Amino acid sequence: MGRCRITILRKLYFDDLAREFQPFDLAECPSMSVGEVFYTAGPFGVDMPEGFCPPAWNAIMPFAQVLASGGKVYSRDETHITACPDGIRPVLFKMEGVK
């Protein structure tokens, strides 16, 4: 079983949505940095990486499982681009299966 490499591509922040829908001050996601790389772990290669955001992991974990097992997700190769579910300050991920 392989693993999945997850690279932080972009961090976005929608100030207009934050002003309208959040009762508290927000900024872009503090949990991750652009360019940071995470690798899945565990005996099957699909455990959440150390230091990874749990809500983001819950959203992208099915893709990590497919990629770690050598599958493809909506692409021509073993690379998939996806995002966390935070609609005000989403983080975009590049996910790749690695042996």
Question: At 26, is the pLDDT very low, low, confident or very high (cuts 50, 70, 90)?
Answer: confident
**Distance separating alpha carbons of residues 19 and 57, to the nearest angstrom:** 26
- Those residues whose C-beta lies under 8 Å from the C-beta of residue 3, and which sit 6 or more positions away, are 39, 40, 41, 45, 68, 97, 98, 99
pLDDT reading at 47 higher than 90: yes
pLDDT computed for residue 48 by the predictor:
94
pLDDT computed for residue 24 by the predictor:
77
Place of tokens 């699909």: 46
Q: Amino acid letter at 76?
A: R
**Distance separating alpha carbons of residues 75 and 96, to the nearest angstrom:** 11
pLDDT computed for residue 58 by the predictor:
94
